[in-house]
Amino acid sequence: MTEEFNESMINEVQEGDKVKGSVQAIEDKHVVVHIVGGKFDGIIPISQLSTQHIETANEVVNIGDEIEAFVTKIEQNEESGHYILSKRKLDENLSYEKLQTILDEDETIEAEVTEVVKGGLVVDAGIRGFIPASLISVNYIEDYSDYLGKVLTLKIEELDQTNNRVILSRKKVEQEALSSQKEDLLNNISQGDVLEGKVARIANFGAFIDLGGVDGLVHVSELSHNHVKSPEEVVTVGETVKVKVRAVDREAERISLSIKDTLASPFEQIDTNFTVGDIVPGKVVRLAQFGAFVEIAPGLQGLVHISQISHEHIGNPEEVLEKGQDVQVKILAIDKDEERISLSIKDTIEQETDYDESYLNQRDTDEDNPTLGDIFGDKLKDFKL
């Protein structure tokens, strides 16, 4: 009867069974667990205590803690025995089941970054998960160490329990958030809105501004009231700027912006510095068939009509002017409402004549050139019809 009892007790716990117990002792390399309903105590090697790397058992368990684990092996002899247990395997199974449900329902998880390794980040997702560098963010990340200890919101990219492989993505979460922000912005933004954004990148034709999920373009001509040769003269990548919406194309997901329209116009203070009739220096900034545009101050350009360029007849402004040339101009008119200035180069230049003007002032007293009056004198007075 004794032998039959002992055999029945041993057979109560089999390899692969899930058992419960309480921590009785913590050693350097293992933990001793009293198994409920078992003949022997259980031993959990430190490598089987946690799904994460640990140095000592005290990091994860204390005396008296209740534990569930899988029986991986039963070792016994004639006098004693023990069960080899794995809490790690049980935790992994539970974690994989939970992660599979999250993956199936396309939900997110929260996981703490426990290690920064070459090529990415290791996180505690209930089991050891990995975020490859390419899936950390939509933005370029230079130093991954800033993520150590942070809790990240992640999407499951790949789940393979057979190969113990859990690949996670933070980039996907960011992309979905940006997509949602982009849709909301495009639906709510309107022409004339004034917004704040960040300079995302610069091209030779303008600057792209991140408005929070969608980029808008500020053409180089809309960067400043002043003439701009290159966008780098006005803005830098990462700079926060104020912009005004000029146009929205929701189907093409394009937004045209202006920085210039948010700045005070130079015409607002033109009366302080300029008056009709003033002669001021300027620079030719553009030539057209009908005249020349001359800048008389930053952001202030006026038109010299072709008829006001020269006293001589010209067929094209390029006959006498070139871009970048310094000139003197007279202000003919200022229209603040329309932001127009009429200028004249001709009125600053004294007209030259092609004859001797001294003849105009010569008196008719030359005796060598008598007039008819000198010749006939009184005879004309006596003549009657």
| 19 vs 142: CA distance, rounded Å | 47
Rounded to 5 degrees, φ, ψ at 322 are -140, 155
Higher pLDDT, 43 or 228: 43
Residue 378, burial from CB neighbour count under 10 angstroms (0-12, 13-18, 19+): exposed
| 339 vs 16: CA distance, rounded Å | 86
Does residue 311 sit in helix, strand or coil? coil
Architecture category of domain 189-262 in CATH:
Beta Barrel (2.40)
What's residue 170's pLDDT? 96
| 72 vs 48: CA distance, rounded Å | 10
Average pLDDT in the 30-48 region?
Answer: 91
Higher pLDDT, 283 or 251: 283
Q: How many other C-beta atoms are found inside a 10 Å radius of the C-beta of residue 171?
A: 20
Average pLDDT in the 264-272 region?
Answer: 83
What's residue 383's pLDDT? 46
Rounded alpha-carbon distances, angstroms, from residue 348 to 279, 329, 351: 7, 6, 9
- The CATH fold assigned to 2-87 is OB fold (Dihydrolipoamide Acetyltransferase, E2P) (2.40.50)
What's residue 353's pLDDT? 56
pTM: 0.55
**What is the secondary structure of 88-107 as a DSSP string?**
HHHHHHHHHHHHHHHHHTT-
Average pLDDT in the 283-304 region?
Answer: 92
Q: Is the pLDDT of residue 377 over 80?
A: no
Q: Is the pLDDT of residue 5 over 50?
A: no
Rounded to 5 degrees, φ, ψ at 174 are -65, -40
Rounded to 5 degrees, φ, ψ at 296 are -105, -10
pLDDT tens per residue, range 78-98: 778 899 999 989 988 999 999
Rounded alpha-carbon distances, angstroms, from residue 316 to 45, 94, 180, 227, 347: 94, 85, 55, 24, 18
**Paired sense of beta strands 108-117 and 120-124, if any:** antiparallel
Does residue 190 sit in helix, strand or coil? coil
Q: Is the pLDDT of residue 182 over 90?
A: no
Q: Is the pLDDT of residue 241 over 50?
A: yes
What's residue 299's pLDDT? 81
Average pLDDT in the 113-119 region?
Answer: 93
List all residues 6 or more positions away from 31 whose beta carbon is below 8 Å from its beta carbon: 23, 25, 43, 44, 46, 49, 57, 61
- Compute the mean pLDDT over every residue in the chain, rounded to the nearest whole number: 86
> Among 159, 172, 81, which residue's Cα sits nearest to residue 125?
159
**What is the secondary structure of 36-75 as a DSSP string?**
TT-SSEEEEEGGGS-SS--SSGGGT--TT-EEEEEEEEEE
| 68 vs 58: CA distance, rounded Å | 17
Band (pLDDT 50/70/90 cuts) for residue 23 is very high
Q: Which residue ranges make up each domain of the chain? A: 2-87, 106-174, 189-262, 266-348
| Angle at the Cα of 230 from the Cα atoms of 228 and 233, rounded to 5 degrees | 75
Q: pLDDT > 70: what percent of the chain?
A: 88
CATH tag, 266-348: 2.40.50.140
Give yes or no for a contact between 100 and 118, defined as CB atoms under 8 angstroms apart: no
Is 106-174 assigned to CATH 2.40.260.10?
Answer: no
Q: Do domains 2-87 and 189-262 have the same CATH topology?
A: yes
